[in-house]
Chains A and B, each alone.
Chain A
Amino acid sequence: MVSRRQWFMRFLLRSLTQRVGRVAVATFSVTIAVAIVVSALGLSRGIRDKLGHELKAYGANIIVTSPAGLDQREAEEALSTMPGVDEFTFQLYGSVMAGSAGSAVSAVSEVAAIELIGMDIDESKGWKLAGRLPLKGAGEALVGSDVQAALNLELGGALELEGEKFSLVGFVERGGPEDGAVMLWLPDAQVLLERPGTVSAALVRAEPGGLEEVVGGIRRALSVAEVKTLRQVARAEEIFLGKIELLMGLVSIVVLLAASISLSSTMSATVLERLKEIGLMKAIGGTRRGIGVFFVSEGTAIGVMGGVAGYLLGVLAAMAVSKGAFGSIIIVPAVLLPLGVALGVVISVVASLVPLLGALRCKPSVILRGE
């Protein structure tokens, strides 16, 4: 005696394994549909991450200041644990008396008051640099292009700031305030300006889309601080990323519709080919429900196989596309596997339901006559 469940599985397995060509065509259709959607969704998410990373070159999108200066430790503690904060850096601003000294090729220029910026120099980006970045704690300075011209400075020379000598290792040009300033590592600047443990500003890079939450969080954590968003940067980023996501979403929907229509014709052809089988099942006593369950189970099995294969193919496609576009590989999240399988099952079952319901409504005599 074979249980009904065991027989059902045997019947289903026979149907799938003895009709390899047809099952392969249907599974392939599901695979392609799922692969395109998985790769589009994976790329959509990956592109956001990648572009977000690229957009970091634009710098911070929130600036935190205080008239009396910020306590560096307090600010560091608050920002390092705050959700939505990608990264942050501190700067200290001040004015110092400067002049070139000790260079073999340049004479001492007259002493002038210039702007000093103390910062984490390694993390600064977007500079056009001649020479190299200063090493931390090595008594080295980076000079903006305007200062270089005004003081007639040369690489390898020395710069005297408030009586302290700094080696000139690099010149930068950015088209911003850095061009008219001398840049030191933050600890050096704090010593030179006699403001240990204090910073003028925290430059915060928050995730685009979560800007307002981060601003609110900073205001609560650092009550004395003035928090401003760099709206142009932030808004441009959000709009740009939003459009990219919308585009990918629309592409996914269009592709899904096109794939579903194509799959629907494949599944229709498969069901129509088996009309006689359906008529026979009805003739020997199969109810609409009993026959429907069999065909829907078959569609589900094809959907699962196509869903898994489609996910794997979609991951490979997303990796190949991202490698070509960004030069690095996007990792498609594993959560898209169950989503891909569910999608495969839904489109496979829905595509087979329409012709199946039509066939189930027919009288068996009509089907068996071949009309």
Chain B
Amino acid sequence: MTAFIEIKDVLKEYGTATALRGVSFAVERGQWCAVVGASGSGKSTMLNIIGGLDSPSSGCVSMDGVDLCALGEDPMARFRRENVGYVFQQSHLVPYLTSVENVMLAQYFHSLTDEDEAREALARVGMDHRLGHRPSQLSGGEQQRVCIARALINSPKVLLADEPTGNLDRENTTLILGLLKRLHTEEHFTIIMVTHDAYVAGWAGRVVTMEDGLIVKDEPSDR
């Protein structure tokens, strides 16, 4: 049986530099997997390729049975909006939109916009008191929670998080990880999370360690 997410012999080169050296990796539905490694180990590149933000130089990537390498740019965009929710290290919110409007932007690119649903998504991440605030009026942790609400609004099949707590203090880090934990345990989200922080990785059920473009360790979390 094919895994929910599967990458096989993926090579990624940027000019003369090689970011991934024939990586193979699979994630089952409902799993929370942390990818750890030093800076430049290729973990973010692998996450981007899984989510269709980048394409491999060679090798195959599939999600839920769909061969992502066979998709052109616009079909890939449609695939992303249907299946993938992203949480970035820098939350990448549109600066001139309010919290609720940033969530509605993802709805707009998906299908229909529903402000009530967007408010509910923000309430799920404890941001119902900051609906009309713009990103510049929010703290880093609050921005990241808006980013999670935006990632969840279209009910994606997988949540991809690239250093979601990288810019946060311990208190906000725990808050965000608690949110992800709840999504994983209560709503059975499949989560792949890139981090360089062992504490953060410990929240996941599985930890994959990368080094110099290769997976060197793949084990259950000891938490």
Please list the residues of chain A having a beta carbon within 8 angstroms of any beta carbon in chain B: 1-4, 7-8, 10-11, 14-15, 18-19, 276-277, 279-290, 363-366, 368
Which of A2, A3, A289, A290 has the most chain B CB atoms closer than 10 A to its own CB?
Answer: A2
B218 to chain A, nearest CB (A): 24
A-B residue pairs in contact (CB < 8 Å), sample of 16 = A2-B112, A7-B104, A7-B113, A11-B101, A14-B97, A19-B96, A277-B94, A279-B92, A283-B51, A284-B106, A285-B82, A285-B109, A287-B109, A288-B77, A290-B109, A365-B53
Q: Considering the complex, which residues of chain B in the window 56-93 have a beta carbon less than 8 Å from any beta carbon of chain A?
A: 73-74, 77-78, 80-82, 86, 88, 92
> Nearest chain-A residue to B91 (Cβ)?
A280
CB distance from A57 to the nearest CB of B (A): 61
Cβ–Cβ contact B54 & A363, under 8 A: yes
**Neighbouring A residues of B80 by C-beta, 8 Å:** 283-285
CA gap between A15 and B95 in the complex, in Å:
9
Chain B residues lying within 8 Å of A7, measured Cβ to Cβ, are 104, 107-108, 113
Q: How far is the CA of A7 from the CA of B105 in the complex (A)?
A: 9
Report the separation of the CA atoms of residues A276 and B73 in the bound assembly, to the nearest whole angstrom.
18
B97 contact from A2, A11, A289, A368, Cβ within 8 A: A11
Contact partner of B81 among A276, A279, A280, A285, CB < 8 A? A285
User: Given the interface contacts A283-B86, A363-B54, A363-B55, does A15 sit within 8 Å of B96 by beta carbon?
Assistant: yes
- B66: min CB distance to chain A, Å: 15
Residue of A nearest to B49 (CB): A365
Cross-chain contact B78 with A2 (CB below 8 angstroms): no
B172 within 8 A of A: no
B-side contacts of A288, CB under 8 Å:
73-74, 77
Closest to B97 in A: A14
Given pairs A11-B97, A366-B54, 7 additional interface contacts (CB within 8 A) = A2-B115, A7-B113, A11-B101, A284-B81, A286-B81, A288-B77, A365-B53
Q: Which residues on B sit within 8 Å (CB–CB) of A365?
A: 45, 48, 53-54
Q: Are A286 and B77 in contact (CB under 8 A)?
A: yes
Cα A287 to Cα B80 with chains together (Å): 10
Q: Is the CB of B108 within 8 A of A11?
A: yes
A184 to B107, CA, bound (A): 88
- Of A2, A14, A276, A368, which is within 8 A of B53 by CB? A368
Interface of B toward A, CB cutoff 8 Å? 45, 48, 51, 53-55, 73-74, 77-78, 80-82, 86, 88, 92, 94-97, 101, 104-110, 112-115, 134, 150, 154
Question: How far, in whole Å, are A301 and B55 apart by their CA atoms in the complex?
Answer: 35
Nearest 10 Cβ contacts at the A-B interface: A285-B81, A18-B96, A365-B53, A365-B54, A365-B48, A7-B113, A285-B109, A286-B109, A280-B92, A2-B113
A195 CB to closest chain B CB (Å) equals: 84
Most A C-beta atoms less than 10 A away, residue of B45, B78, B105, B112: B105
Q: How far is the CB of B192 from chain A (nearest CB, A)?
A: 15
Q: Which residues of B contact A19 (CB under 8 A)?
A: 96
Residues of B within 8 A of A18 (CB): 95-97, 134
A343: min CB distance to chain B, Å: 28
What residues of A have a CB within 8 angstroms of the CB of B48 in the complex?
A: 365
Given contacts A286-B77, A289-B74, is CB(A4)–CB(B53) below 8 Å?
A: no
A282 to chain B, nearest CB (A): 6
Task: Report the bound CA distance from A284 to B87 in whole Å.
Answer: 10
> B99: shortest Cβ distance to chain A, in Å?
13
Closest chain-B Cβ to A363's Cβ sits at a distance in Å of 5
Say how far A371's CB is from chain B's closest CB, in angstroms: 9
CA distance A348 to B53 in the complex (A): 30
Q: Is the CB of A2 within 8 A of B114?
A: yes
Within 8 Å CB of B97, what residues of A? 11, 14, 18
A368 to B162, CA, bound (A): 12
Which residue of B has the minimal Cβ distance to A290? B109
Bound Cα distance A185, B78 (Å)? 88
